[in-house]
Amino acid sequence: MRGRFALFQTRRVGVALFAVSVLAGCAAPRSGPVGGEPLAVTPSARELAVYPAQGQSARRTDRDRYECHLWAVRQSGFDPSRQRTEAPAPVRRVEPDPPSGTSTTLGAVTGAVVGAAVANPRRTLEGAAIGAVVGGVAGSAADNAREARAQAIEERLNDRRDTRNDVRENNYYRALSACLEGRGYTVR
């Protein structure tokens, strides 16, 4: 009789572990669009108003503006006329390693095995189930923390790229204003 009961218990534990491992494998990765949201390329909202302060003609103003534009592009490395036609820099995507769901699955399976091992021999199935739940919750917390770190890194990388372009654009407009003011124009 004792041998049949042990065989029955072994089968119950095996079925429970199989069920837990199959269900734990259903962890879903982070949802959302791959590659982030598309970036719209918008023309610069900065327009300079240039007034001839020394009675320069319209033709002279156009020529000075063009020459100052070329000089400002050389100084800053930013050309607003080209920035509108170029494709935006790709959005960097950071994926956690190992992928999302891995720790949840491993935690559930490990928890089921440990729960079954430490449980009362007559309550092996219950011990496995409780261990799977506790292990799955702990693994899910680890997955969420890894996801948050990856998201923070991704945001820092993409913000740094945007900041570089903003600095270059500001340098362009400062250089353009300085050049035009040096040629006798009032710039607003």
pLDDT digits (tens, 9 = 90+) for 31-52: 544 454 544 444 455 788 999 9
Neighbours of 24 (CB within 10 A): 22
**Domain range summary for the chain, segments of one domain joined by +:** 2-25+49-187
| CA 133 centroid distance within chain | 30
Average pLDDT over residues 10-14: 64
153, pLDDT greater than 60: yes
Separation between Cα atoms, residue 121 and residue 11, nearest integer Å: 13
Tokens representing residue 135 in the block: 């292990």
Residues 6+ apart with CB under 8 A from 42: none
Average pLDDT over residues 168-185: 93
* Total residues found in the chain within this entry: 188
Neighbours of 101 (CB within 10 A): 18
Query: Confidence band (pLDDT; 50, 70, 90) for 159?
Result: confident
Tell me the three state secondary structure of residue 187.
strand
